[in-house]
Amino acid sequence: MSSSCMEETSIRNNQWYRIISELLLKADIKINGSRPFDIQVNNPHFFKRVLQHGSLGLGESYMDGWWDCPRLDIFFQQILRAGLDKSTPTHWRDLLRVASARMTNLQSKRRAWVVGKKHYDLGNDLFSLILDPYMQYSCGYWKNAETLEQAQLAKLKLICEKLQLQSGMTLLDIGCGWGGLSVYAAKNYGVSVQGVTISREQQKLAQKRCAGLEVEILLQDYRDLNNQYDRVVSVGMFEHVGPKNYQTYFNVVARNLKSDGLFLLHTIGSKQTKANVDAWTNKYIFPNGCLPSVANIASSSEKLFVIEDLHNFGADYDLTLMAWYQRFIQGWNQIADHYDERFKRMFSYYLNACAGAFRARDIQLWQIMFSPSGVNGGLRVPR
């Protein structure tokens, strides 16, 4: 028997291998199989690392090149559809993190800036490469779209029409990113916009993009806002607020919205109420993040607002993420001098894992319309 065959036999007899192999078969995934969603293991220590460290071990071992998979998006779709995320043992560090999230305000004013520095300040060259011309780092609306740019323009139009923007109105954009929505609303609806972000890189580029328009981009925490606006919008920011601050968040919106105003919340959401996010995502992508549930949103807003409409188009995030991934891979050589191969694997893993999660309908995307006291006759919104 050759040394390679002996090594293969030794791996197969390993208890760690057997456990992982049996788990993956529940999702119809084979180790070293021939299908694009099967995994190719490059390091025999992979199995023990995943079982000992769970999600973190799976993601970090991929970043380290210990395993590969041509279609990570399908791999994660099948993993989640089979419920394997609930089958693997929970590591003690995960338990500590959950306990910490329940006892500590991980999204306090001091901590809130961490995600800006860790993720949104990665580099405008990176985000300019993968995003559309309006720099929308949130789910596009693919109802009638065929390209990323069309989907993001459709999303911007959908938001503005749901808010019933009219010339002369004031709009507060909480978590304005690179200013894409602020620019679009000011140009196409004649509104005056004030946007806030906790990312210096975002503010820098947003101010440049908004030059000459009635748009002001502020670098500040949302909790310091104290003004009156006709409309309030928040796109892809609520995921960073955290359970201990949900009530404060809605108090801030209520404080800043006129009595006859409208508020649109665009957020990724969890099917179930949880205190934390995936361990790997928390460490490498969105530190201190937490996906809200419908129950979180309803209980935190019920004394302040009427929910006029809830629109779920989470399946569209799958298309958005895969479009970003395609642009990332196609344009990698343009930014390769600024990022290493491990970063490339990390970012690829992130985009594909998220795409698979949305495709499996494990996580959702909601646009929720609120009014302070209820709109007479109800609110008719576009779809």
Tell me: the pLDDT tens digits for 104-159? 555 555 554 454 454 566 678 899 999 999 999 999 999 999 999 999 999 999 99
Helix, strand, or coil (residue 363): strand
Spatial distance between the Cα atoms of 264 and 375, rounded to a whole number of angstroms: 14
d(CA 143, CA 311): 13
pLDDT above 80 (res 379): yes
Q: Give the percent of the chain with pLDDT over 90.
A: 77
> What band does 276 get if pLDDT is binned at 50, 70 and 90?
low
What is the predicted pLDDT for the residue at 279? 86
CA dihedral 57, 126, 74, 20 (to 10 degrees): -10
CB atoms within 10 A of CB 41: 17
Q: Please name each of the domains of the chain with its CATH number.
A: 3-89 (no CATH), 108-371 (3.40.50.150)
**pLDDT at site 266:** 98
Contact assessment for residue 109 and residue 307, using Cβ atoms and an 8 Å cutoff: no
- 210 noted as active-site residue: no
Per residue in 3-52, pLDDT (tens digit) is 454 455 455 558 899 999 999 999 999 999 999 999 999 999 999 999 98
pLDDT of res. 104: 55
Question: Which residue of the set 139, 210, 290, 354 is catalytic?
Answer: 354
Task: For the chain, give the longest Cα–Cα distance.
Answer: 81
pLDDT band at 289 (very low <50, low <70, confident <90, very high): confident
Q: What is the pLDDT of residue 92?
A: 45
Point out the least confidently predicted range of 86-95, 164-173, 259-268: 86-95
Q: Percent helix, strand, coil in the chain (nearest 5)?
A: 50, 15, 35
Mean of pLDDT values over 373-380: 96
Tell me the backbone φ, ψ of residue 355, rounded to 5 degrees. Answer: -60, -45
Whether 95 has a pLDDT exceeding 50, the answer reads no
